[in-house]
Amino acid sequence: MNTIIEQNFSVPFHYQVCFTQDLFGLENRLFVDALEKGKRPKVFFVIDSGVADTHPNLIQAIKTYAENFSEQFILAASPLIVPGGEACKNDLSIYQKVVEATHLFGIDRHSYIAVIGGGAVLDMAGFAAAISHRGIRLIRIPTTVLSQNDSAVGVKNSINAFGKKNYLGTFTPAVAVLNDFNFLLTLEDRDWRAGIAEAIKVALIKDLTFFTWLEANAEAMARRELEPMKTQIIRSAQMHLDHIAGKDPFEFGSSRPLDFGHWAAHKLEHLSDFRIRHGEAVAIGIALDSAYSFLQGKISKSDLDRIFHLMHTLGFELFAPELEGENLIKGLKEFQEHLGGQLTITLLEKLGKGIEVHEMDHQLIHQAVALLSNFELEQTS
């Protein structure tokens, strides 16, 4: 005789994505207002080394801010400086340093880890916070276009393992995402540009009006004008938030439309030994899947030209030699393994609308790669 006892419950999540400038200015209460009221919690900062280098006064500004708001929170220790980029997700000792800090400094479930940096550092520190004490409260302070308009907004944290991107990870929302536009002003041109790929992605699969806006403002963003970049970031972040609030925020199924262009991007990052940064790889992946959509007759040549022209105006390269050969095709299987279930790839039904498919023609993929190669040759000739 079988006895079955069953329970069903849901847990609501609430967090804010905020935009400001001069986050740690003494007149700015945004950070302190994100903390639980009346508790005076400990806060431990993890900072991307690239951010620390380009903002040499940041640590002192945090200490001065903590002194000014000493009745609201306590600095648990001096900030931990960690390498930025994929290096922090590839080296397991780095996330372990964050975990060790929670032990050494008594950072409990009512304390906060505040991580300042690009998407990779946010991923790594978020993973460390999620597995320590079964979950320490996390505040994300993204410092790149890519992290402000996409990766920091979501609920995913991860590190790389076994040569595969994001192999170990959790779905754990931050308690708040605090975006300071001032951090963008010191970005290299590559990082300024790279994050716009995620805006192109979400516009292509969800919103033709936004895609048209990106076309109209591409030259201004390429000139590093801040106001259109702010508009792009906030619009993209809102669209990502709207998607997360939909039917499958923790990705229990195989559908992941917001990964349009990402199956190739993830593989390309590894094949290039991360010479190609994530946003750059996403741009190439979007171009590849757009070309594939064209070859399948889903979008017109003029549609494809619009996509390629937008990316070229922004300064993206749309081809890399690592795309050639059979190694790229292996990315399809790895993407399926990462998702679980059947292969599900988002392509374009038309500009502004994605469509899911469950198989891809390897010969057409090679033809799409050839289209990208020819486009780049035309631009340099």
Rounded Cα distance between 94 and 72, Å, is: 29
Rounded Cα distance between 119 and 136, Å, is: 19
Higher pLDDT, 12 or 279: 279
Of 170, 186, 202, the last residue of a domain is 186
CATH number of the CATH domain containing 338: 1.20.1090.10
Rounded Cα distance between 293 and 94, Å, is: 40
| Mean pLDDT of the residues in the chain | 93
**What is the per-residue pLDDT for 248?**
60
Q: Is the pLDDT of residue 141 over 90?
A: yes
Task: Report whether 143 contacts 114 (CB < 8 A).
Answer: no
Total tally of structural domains belonging to the chain: 2
Q: What percent of the chain has pLDDT over 90?
A: 80
| Co-location of 88 and 197 in the same domain | no
State the DSSP string of 357-375.
ES---HHHHHHHHHHHHHH
Q: Say if 225 falls within a structural domain.
A: yes
Rounded Cα distance between 119 and 88, Å, is: 11
Q: Is the pLDDT of residue 102 over 50?
A: yes
| Co-location of 170 and 229 in the same domain | no
Token pair in block for residue 315: 């300064």
**What is the per-residue pLDDT for 254?**
45
Of 186, 202, 230, the last residue of a domain is 186
142: three-class secondary structure by DSSP = strand
Q: Say if 89 falls within a structural domain.
A: yes
| Co-location of 92 and 213 in the same domain | no
Q: Say if 182 falls within a structural domain.
A: yes
Task: Report whether 197 contacts 316 (CB < 8 A).
Answer: yes
CATH number of the CATH domain containing 81: 3.40.50.1970
Rounded Cα distance between 59 and 48, Å, is: 12
| Co-location of 195 and 230 in the same domain | yes
Mean pLDDT lowest among 65-74, 126-135, 212-221, 242-251: 242-251
Q: Is the pLDDT of residue 332 over 90?
A: no
Of 186, 221, 244, the last residue of a domain is 186
Rounded Cα distance between 159 and 87, Å, is: 10
Residue 310's pLDDT band, with cuts at 50, 70 and 90, is very high
**What is the per-residue pLDDT for 253?**
52
pLDDT digits (tens, 9 = 90+) for 26-45: 999 999 999 988 889 999 99
| Co-location of 45 and 171 in the same domain | yes
| Co-location of 84 and 217 in the same domain | no
Q: Is the pLDDT of residue 325 over 90?
A: no
Q: Say if 6 falls within a structural domain.
A: no
Q: What percent of the chain has pLDDT over 70?
A: 96
Q: Say if 7 falls within a structural domain.
A: no
Q: Is the pLDDT of residue 157 over 50?
A: yes
| Co-location of 211 and 289 in the same domain | yes
Rounded Cα distance between 372 and 378, Å, is: 10
Q: Say if 281 falls within a structural domain.
A: yes
| Co-location of 233 and 362 in the same domain | yes
| 302-306: long-range contacts, CB 8 A cutoff, minimum separation 24 | 303/348, 303/350, 303/351, 306/215, 306/351
Token pair in block for residue 45: 């900062």
| Co-location of 361 and 291 in the same domain | yes
**What is the per-residue pLDDT for 364?**
96
Identify which of 253, 282, 251 has the alpha carbon closest to the alpha carbon of residue 267.
282
Mean pLDDT lowest among 96-110, 119-133, 156-170, 289-303: 156-170
140: three-class secondary structure by DSSP = strand
| Co-location of 54 and 198 in the same domain | no
| Co-location of 160 and 203 in the same domain | no
State the DSSP string of 32-93.
HHTSPTTS--EEEEEEEHHHHHH-TTHHHHHHHHHHHTTTT-EE-SSPEEE--TTHHHH-HH
**What is the per-residue pLDDT for 331?**
85
Q: Say if 216 falls within a structural domain.
A: yes
Q: Is the pLDDT of residue 64 over 70?
A: yes
Cα 86 to the center of its chain, rounded Å: 12
**Domain, as residue range, for 44:** 16-186
pLDDT digits (tens, 9 = 90+) for 232-283: 999 999 998 887 776 666 665 545 667 899 999 989 998 999 899 999 999 9
| Co-location of 96 and 182 in the same domain | yes
Helix (H) or strand (E) holding 217: helix 208-222
Q: Say if 202 falls within a structural domain.
A: yes
